């Protein structure tokens, strides 16, 4: 089935992220002055307001910070309910809002805050691959 949800448009401040996503790499913006990464991409560091930014290839690993089971949604997402939305603490710093795959929304008691997770990407079209996260199997 083709991807039937909103597809982001890569722009000046996000193109490196989407270029990495196409080849399965998580690229994160990092501030050259304070050395902190941030998510989402923007033209100034949210921590120190420097505009001296670079992109790094991140590990693609993180831990689950928080989650919620979604029972309502619109558009293409309505065909996936219930699904689990989640905040991921990135290993390199900052936090990403995402959809957590590889878990059972009907058994949220099996989803643990702090569980290790890894990013993966699903193609939405030829240009844009969407990031999702799933638990790291032991």
Alpha-carbon gap, residue 65 to 114, rounded angstroms: 6
Least distance to Zn ion from the beta carbon of 54, Å?
A: 11
- The CA-based angle 114-117-118, given to 5 degrees, is 155
Q: Which tokens in the block code for residue 129?
A: 């691959």
- Closer of 39 and 121 to Zn ion (Cβ): 39
**Residue 77, interface with Zn ion (CB under 5 A)?**
no
With residues binned 3-state (H G I as helix, E B as strand, rest as coil), the percentages for the chain, rounded to 5, are 10, 35, 50
- CB 25, min distance to Zn ion, A: 22
Stretch that binds Zn ion, among 4-12, 26-34, 80-88, 93-101 (CB under 5 A): 26-34
- Site residues (CB under 5 A) for Zn ion? 31, 33-34, 45, 47-48, 50
């Amino acid at each position: 089935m083709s991807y039937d949800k909103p597809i982001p448009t890569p722009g000046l401040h996000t193109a490196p992220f989407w270029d990495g996503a196409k080849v399965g790499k998580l690229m994160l913006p990092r501030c050259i002055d304070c050395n902190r990464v941030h998510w989402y991409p923007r033209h100034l560091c949210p921590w120190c307001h420097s505009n001296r930014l670079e992109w790094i290839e991140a590990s693609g690993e993180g831990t689950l910070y928080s989650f919620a089971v979604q029972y309502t949604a619109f558009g293409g997402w309505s065909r996936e309910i219930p699904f689990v939305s989640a905040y991921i603490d990135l290993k390199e710093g900052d936090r990403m809002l995402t959809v957590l795959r590889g878990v059972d929304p009907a058994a949220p008691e099996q989803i643990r805050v702090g569980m290790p997770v890894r990013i993966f990407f699903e193609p939405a079209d030829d240009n844009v691959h969407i990031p999702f996260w799933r638990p790291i199997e032991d």
